[in-house]
Structure 1
Amino acid sequence: MGGNGETMPVVRGRFRGPAIVAGVLMLFSFGLATPVAADGRSREHIPTYDVVLSIGVDGVLYVRETITYDFDEEGEHGIVRSVPFRHGDRVYDVRGVRSSSSTGAPSRVRTTKFLNNVRISVGDRGREVSGRQAYVLEYEVAWAFTPRDRHDELVWDALGTGWNVPIGHAAVRVVAPVPLRHVTCRAGVPGVTTRCLRDRDGPFAVDFVQGALAPREGMTVRVRLPKRAIAVPPPRYVPPRWTGDWTGTALLTLSLAAVALLARRPAPPRQVGTGLGAAGFVLVVADAVDDIAAHGPWAFSLGDRSLAGLALVIVGVGIVCGRRHRMV
């Protein structure tokens, strides 16, 4: 009893410092992500956001976004636009990204794929900008149309829900090579939306406008075109991120329980842990290679082989760390 009472404060002390540091960093990061003025309102905002969605006869969606952004007085390196390339099993091809600035702001573009989005970073890491700047983004989206029995359908969020600043005025124009008879728009967040104001109709173009959008609110456009009005390639689907059955999930769960048991009992030799970890790593790599070879570099999903491999890695690392702890 006396020995346990002496070690508990030491264990708590080990975790208390990192926990405090992590909490401070989270609060600091949140404060940087949402700058506010003295009256509690966000300093940064988007005064105007104009989008043109041009539907090509080849079934490709051509997007042009003109974004006017008011930066904080302290300055930022640019803007980041997140465009989804995956919804569940459905994937899109976001390509041909270009950018420019009519106000002379740095407009170098960099794209990275993170989770389900393509992150388009516009600016210069070595140069900050402040005040009001204007950017133009252009890109293409393939596999965006869904073929139905009697029509072909496009559902697309023209602004996205990744902006953490308010948008004063947004306008979305839909342009098609055939007359547009079935076009709608909803503004807001998923599950809580309102109709966009239909500003102007033409035979081949429809305009929607919306004012005072809060952070994370977008404008989703739904377009229905007659069959064979444009070429619509079949949608592309890839396996979900988690494709493991109950066996792989059970192995992963048991591995966590095994680590807890290893902490109480003499651990096997360190070489056993290293071997298990290496075998698990090989299983994960083999599963990843199969997915990537069949569907592309971002199609990797956690199947039973990956889960079994992770289980072996967890047990192996537990053995190695357990032996090291006992040696100390």
Structure 2
Amino acid sequence: MTKHIARVLAAVLLSIWAYGAHAGDVIRSFNADILVREDGVLDVTETIKVNADGTDIQHGIYRDFPQYVTTPDGTRYKVSFEILSVTRNGEDEPWEATDTDLGTKIRIGDQFQLVSTGNHTYQIRYLTDRQIIFGDASDRLRWNVTGDEWSFPILSASAHVILSSGAQPFEPIAFTGSRGRKLADAVATVSGRGATFETTHALDPFEGLTIMVQFPKGAVAPPTTAQLSDWWWRDNLGWVVLIYGFAAVFAYMMFTWLWFGRDPKAGTIVPRWDLPMGISPALMSYIFDGMNRPGFTGDL
């Protein structure tokens, strides 16, 4: 009996400690349903359940989505990000997307209206491409489920990946931690046509859940020539505009200089002098050489 009471008391104290440790704004659960379409586009639905007390969550929440990927060989490319819907507690919620150095920041909520304290459920649905890594024997998806920009803890995080082609994924891996760290506080399983990933411990601020899963060749079609062309323009549009803009300005300046700004060709130069008004040739001769030659004087 004494041991039973001790266990109950320990459980109560642990619950009180856990509540105190996560007092304030907190993400109670973060779940991502990821549909891998056959054309390689991901259809992602994120369900984020929060407890707001007005500390950080005042008008709503922010969601940072990175769009620039750097490969091991140093190649940098940009993925797409298209928001389909944003809701809070099942109702459409105002949102605004702004560009950042890393991608897109979504501000969810009305800047003129405070969010009531308590539990709220946000849901974001979006599309993104170029997330599949194509290999020789199999293809794979590596995905940062939660992101690592949250300034408050995430008590639990999970993800479910399913292939629209009907293929079965394999070799799922999950890890947690801040950017650059890999902690094994997550489990991954395969069930039917899907793979499920779940954290086993709460995530501290600026920590996230990252998953990786393999699937057989043919489950996702490789990019077409048109897609590769579109991706090339997406990655290099800034350089194209810069180079062609510089070339256009240089061509305009050269044309303007050649047509209007060049000095006329030099020809025979003939010096000419004209006497000032009211000066006769005799007076000019006197002014110019009068001190060195005899002159005439007269008195009246």
Q: TM-score, normalised to structure 2's length?
A: 0.63
Change in Cα spacing, 1:187 to 1:288, as seen in structure 2 (3 Å) is farther
Kindly tell me: are residues 230 and 61 of structure 1, through their superposed partners in 2, closer, same or farther at Cα, counting changes over 3 Å? Answer: same
| In structure 1, distance between residues paired with 2:203 and 2:21 | 17
Match of 2:145 in 1: 158
Query: 1:199: Cα distance to partner?
Result: 5.8
> Does 2:210 align with 1:228?
no
Q: Choose from 145, 163, 181 the match for 2:170.
A: 181
Structure 2: distance between partners of 1:180 and 1:146: 14
For 1:165-204, list aligned pairs within 5 A: 165-176=152-163, 177-198=166-187, 200-204=189-193
Question: Contact 1:103–1:133 (CA<8 Å) still a contact in 2?
Answer: no
1:126 aligns with 2:112: yes
Gap regions ≥5 residues in structure 1: 1-38, 244-284, 292-328
Structure 2 regions of 5+ residues with no counterpart?
1-19, 71-75, 247-300
Shift of 1:287: 2.5
**C-alpha distance in structure 1 between counterparts of 2:153 and 2:184, whole Å:** 18
Shift, 1:72, TM fit: 2.2
Give 1:120's aligned amino acid: I
Runs of at least 4 residues off by over 3 Å:
39-42, 234-237, 288-291
Q: Percent identity?
A: 23
The verdict on how the C-alpha distance between 1:123 and 1:152 changes in structure 2, with shifts beyond 3 A counting, is same
Q: Does 1:71 align with 2:52?
A: yes
Q: 2:175, 2:186 within 8 Å by CA — same for their partners in 1?
A: no
Quick check: which has more Rg, 1 or 2?
2
Alignment-derived partner of residue 135 in structure 2: 148
Whether 1:109 aligns to 2:120 is no
Residues 42 and 165, structure 1, Cα contact 8 Å, conserved in 2: no
Question: Higher helix fraction: Structure 1 or Structure 2?
Answer: 1
Number of residue pairs matched by the alignment: 211
Q: Which residue of 2 aligns with 1:214?
A: 204
| CA offset digits 1:257-276 (Å, max 9, x no partner) | xxxxxxxxxxxxxxxxxxxx
Match of 2:42 among 61, 67, 78: 61
Letter in 1 for 2:94: R
- Aligned CA distance change for structure 1 residues 126 and 173 (closer, same or farther; 3 Å): same
Deviation at 1:194, TM superposition (A): 1.9
**Per-residue deviation, residues 129-163 of structure 1 (Å, max 9, x unmatched):** 03221100000111111222222222110110111
Distance 1:204 1:91, change over 3 A: same
1:84 aligned residue: 66
Report deviation, 1:191.
Answer: 3.1
One-letter amino acid of the counterpart of residue 195, structure 1: A
Secondary structure of the equivalent of 1:213? coil
- Give distance in 1, aligned partners of 2:144 and 2:54: 30
1:90 offset after TM fit, Å?
A: 2.0
For the residue of structure 2 that corresponds to 1:225, the secondary structure is strand
> What is the TM-score of this pair, normalised by structure 1?
0.58
| Matched position secondary structure for 2:242 | helix
Establish whether residue 205 from structure 1 lines up as the match of residue 187 from structure 2.
Answer: no
The answer to whether residue 268 in structure 2 is matched with residue 287 in structure 1 is: no
Task: Note the alpha carbon deviations across 1:89-135, whole angstroms, 9 max, x for none.
Answer: 1210011331112265x711211211112111111111110322110
Could you tell me how far 1:182 is from its partner in structure 2? Answer: 2.3
